[in-house]
C-alpha cells in the first residue's frame, strides 16, 4: 500500500526524490507552504501525513505550516531537516509533531525514515536511533570521534603526502585527474565579492541552492567566492588566493576527496585549510576522508551555528 503524503518546504532536493526515485511506498503530492494551499490540498487529497522538508525556513513560513496542520489534526506532521532547523520550528510553533527525521540529509534517508514511521517500524527521531556501524553510538558520538581524529592528526598535509592521500580517497580506483588547464574564456568563473580586508572563503558545491545559503550565512563577515564543482575551483585558484575552502563531499563529476587531492597539488595550496561538508552518515567512509587530513568536517544540512563555529575554529 502506498502512503498518501503531502510535501512542502524549501528542501526541493529532498522533496524531488519522493517523486523521481520510483519509491512505491508513497503517493506524493506537493504544495506551497501557505496555509490556504496546505488546507486545500489536505481537503482534496486526504493525505496521511504532511512532510515538511525544511531548509533555512523563515519563521513566518514555519508558522504558516503550523497553523494549517493544527486545523487538520487527522494529518500527521513529519519534519525533515537538521536538528537545528527542527529546534527552530519547535521554538516558534506549537503544532503537534508526529515524527522528526532530524538526521535525514538525503532524499533516500528521508524516504526510509518516513516509510518506517508510517508503517510503525519507526517511533523515534532518526537521530535517536542506534547506528548500525557503531552499536549504541549516536551520530553525534561518531562526529565527536571524527573531531578527535582531526584534532590529533589534522595538521596541514605537506605536499609530499599527496600519494598516500590519493590511496585514502574513497573514489574510483584510478589516479585523480590532474587540475585542468585554464578553461576557455566562455566558461563561467566562480563568483567573487569585491576585494576588501576581510578574510576570503571559497565554497565548492554542485548545488546552487546550497551555495546561496552558505554564502548568505557568511557574506557579512567574509569575502566569498563560489564554484559549482572542481573545475571552476581550479580555475579560480590558479589566479587568486583564498583563506579557507568549504568543500562538498558528494559531487557528480569529481567527488570531494578527488578535488581535495587536486587542490593540494596546486602551487601554494598545501597550507590552505579545507573543511568538508557532507550528508554522508557512513562512519567508515567519513573516516577515510579524515585520513586526507582536512581541517574540519560539517554535517549537512549545514546550520548557521555549526558553520560559524567551524569557521571561527579554523580562523582562531
What pLDDT shows up at residue 102? 84
What does the block give as the cell for 210? Answer: 546550497
CB 229 within 8 A of CB 254: yes
Q: How far apart are CA 316 and CA 294, in angstroms?
A: 16
Q: How far apart are CA 262 and CA 162, in angstroms?
A: 9
Confidence band of 124 (pLDDT split at 50, 70, 90): low
Domains 3-128 and 139-315 in one fold: yes
Confidence band of 306 (pLDDT split at 50, 70, 90): confident
Average pLDDT, the chain: 79
Domain boundaries, the chain: 3-128, 139-315
Lowest-confidence pick of 190-204, 240-254, 265-279: 190-204
Domain 3-128 has CATH 3.40.640.10: no
pLDDT at residue 291 tops 50 = yes
CB 303 within 8 A of CB 82: yes
What pLDDT shows up at residue 292? 83
Domain 139-315 adopts which CATH fold? Rossmann fold (3.40.50)
Q: How far apart are CA 243 and CA 85, in angstroms?
A: 29
pLDDT digits (tens, 9 = 90+) for 28-85: 999 999 999 999 999 999 999 999 999 878 888 999 999 999 999 999 999 998 887 8
Average pLDDT over every residue of 150-177: 42
What pLDDT shows up at residue 159? 35
CB 246 within 8 A of CB 214: yes
What does the block give as the cell for 117? Answer: 514511521
pLDDT digits (tens, 9 = 90+) for 189-240: 454 444 468 899 999 998 888 888 899 999 999 999 999 999 999 999 999 9
Stated length of the chain: 316
Amino acid at each position: 500500500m502506498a502512503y498518501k503524503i503531502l510535501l512542502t518546504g524549501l528542501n526541493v532536493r529532498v522533496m524531488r526524490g519522493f517523486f523521481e526515485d520510483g519509491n512505491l511506498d508513497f503517493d506524493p503530492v506537493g504544495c506551497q507552504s501557505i496555509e490556504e494551499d496546505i488546507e486545500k490540498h489536505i481537503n482534496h487529497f486526504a493525505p496521511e501525513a504532511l512532510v515538511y522538508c525544511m531548509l533555512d525556513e523563515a519563521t513566518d513560513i514555519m508558522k504558516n505550516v503550523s497553523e494549517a496542520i493544527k486545523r487538520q489534526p487527522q494529518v500527521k506532521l513529519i519534519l525533515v531537516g537538521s536538528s537545528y532547523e527542527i529546534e527552530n520550528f519547535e521554538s516558534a510553533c506549537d503544532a503537534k509533531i508526529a515524527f522528526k527525521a532530524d538526521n535525514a540529509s538525503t532524499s533516500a534517508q528521508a524516504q526510509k525514515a518516513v516509510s518506517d514511521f508510517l508503517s510503525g517500524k519507526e517511533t523515534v527521531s532518526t537521530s535517536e536511533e542506534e547506528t548500525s556501524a557503531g552499536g549504541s553510538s549516536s551520530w553525534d558520538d561518531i562526529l565527536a570521534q571524527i573531531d578527535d581524529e582531526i584534532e590529533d592528526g589534522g595538521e596541514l598535509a605537506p605536499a609530499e603526502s599527496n600519494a598516500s592521500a590519493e590511496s585514502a580517497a574513497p573514489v574510483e580506483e584510478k589516479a585523480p585527474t590532474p587540475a585542468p588547464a585554464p578553461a576557455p574564456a566562455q566558461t563561467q568563473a566562480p563568483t567573487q565579492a569585491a576585494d576588501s580586508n576581510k578574510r576570503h572563503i571559497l565554497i565548492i558545491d554542485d548545488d546552487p541552492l546550497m551555495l546561496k545559503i552558505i554564502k548568505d550565512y557568511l557574506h557579512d563577515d567574509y569575502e566569498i567566492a563560489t564554484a559549482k564543482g572542481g573545475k571552476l575551483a581550479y580555475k579560480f585558484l590558479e589566479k587568486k588566493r583564498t583563506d579557507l575552502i568549504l568543500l562538498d563531499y558528494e559531487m557528480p563529476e569529481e567527488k570531494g576527496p578527488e578535488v581535495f587531492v587536486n587542490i593540494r597539488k596546486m602551487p601554494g595550496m598545501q597550507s590552505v585549510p579545507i573543511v568538508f561538508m557532507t550528508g554522508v552518515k557512513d562512519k567508515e567512509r567519513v573516516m577515510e576522508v579524515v585520513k586526507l587530513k582536512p581541517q574540519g568536517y560539517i554535517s549537512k544540512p549545514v546550520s548557521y551555528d555549526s558553520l560559524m563555529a567551524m569557521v571561527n575554529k579554523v580562523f582562531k
